[in-house]
Amino acid sequence: MPVDPQVRALLGALAEAGTQPVENLTVAEARLASKDFLLLQGDPEQVAWVEDRVVPGPTADVPVRLYYPAGDGPFPCLVYFHGGGWVTLDIDVCDPTTRALANDTGCVVVSVDYRKAPEHRFPAAVDDAWASTAWVTENAAELNIDPARIGVFGDSSGGNLAAVTALRARDVGGPALACQILIHPPTDHSTDKRSYLDNAEGYLLQRHSMRWFYGHYLNDPSEGANPWVSPLRAQDLSGLPRALVVTAQYDPLRDDGRLYAERLAAAGTPTKHNDYSGVTHAFYLMWGVLDASRQLHREIAAEVRDVLRVGSPA
C-alpha cells in the first residue's frame, strides 16, 4: 500500500521544517527534538486521579506516574514503558497518551520513567522495568489494583522492555502477567533484515537511527546477542502471556515485530499480530493527527478490555 496521505503530509511538513534524523543529532538535541511528539498527540484528557510515586530500584529509585480511570476498583493495570530508543522521551512527553490509555482501557496505567542511555546503559532500563513491574504486583492492594490482571505495555524501545519483562517474569517464576502489548518493538540487534533495507531512509526512523540508538544503549555490540536486548534470540518463547504485536509497513522494525509474533505463536503463546499499512514507526504517538493511530488505540483498548476482563466504558 502507498504511504497513507496523512503520513505523507506529515513527512513533507517535517522535511520542509528541516527535521534531521536522530543519527545526525547529539543526545541533547535528540531529546529536545523528541518533545515535538507533544504536538502529534491529542489534547490531554482528564482522568480520575494522577499520582507520582518512586519505586525502589536495584541501584537507583525509579519515578513512576499512576493514572486512574473512573470507577471503584480494584482495577486491572498496565505497566507502560515509553519508546525513544532507550535514549529520548519521558513520562511527561507521553502524558497525553497514557491519560487516554487509562480512559480507553479502564486500567490503572503505571508509566515508568526508566533510566536513559548513554548515561545509564544496558541493563539499567531493563532493571528499572523489572523493578517497577514487581513493585506494582507487590503493592497491588495498596494501589487498588487486581494482582491477577496486570499486563505490560510498550511502544518502540518500550515494547522491547515489555517483551523482556515478560520473559524475565517467566524465567524467575513470576509475577504472573496477563498480557503483553508490543507496539512496533525492536526485538533483535541485527539491522540487516529486509524491512531495514526496504525502509532504510525517509520514514522517520531510519536504519542508521537504530544503529545510533543501539550504540548509545549497549556497553559493547556483543551484548546484542543477549535475549534481554534481543528477545527474538531467546531459545524458548513458550509459557509467556497473551500477546498483541503491532507493526507498521514503512518501519525498519517491521520484521522484528513480525518474526517475534510468529515465534510466540509457534511456541504456543496466544498471539495477535496486526501490520498497519501505509504508516511509519512511532505512529502510535500520532493519534492527534493520524486516523490510523486512532484506529490502533481502539484496537488496543478492545484487546486489553478482552484479556483483562474490563467492562466497556460508560
User: Among residues 34, 111, 132, 156, which one is catalytic?
Assistant: 156
User: Among residues 251, 256, 293, 297, which one is catalytic?
Assistant: 251
Distances (CA, A) of 243 to 91, 180, 238: 24, 5, 12
Confirm whether 306 is a catalytic residue. no
What angle do the packed helices 157-172 and 124-138 form, to 10 degrees?
60
Confirm whether 251 is a catalytic residue. yes
Confirm whether 120 is a catalytic residue. no
Active site residues: 156, 251, 281
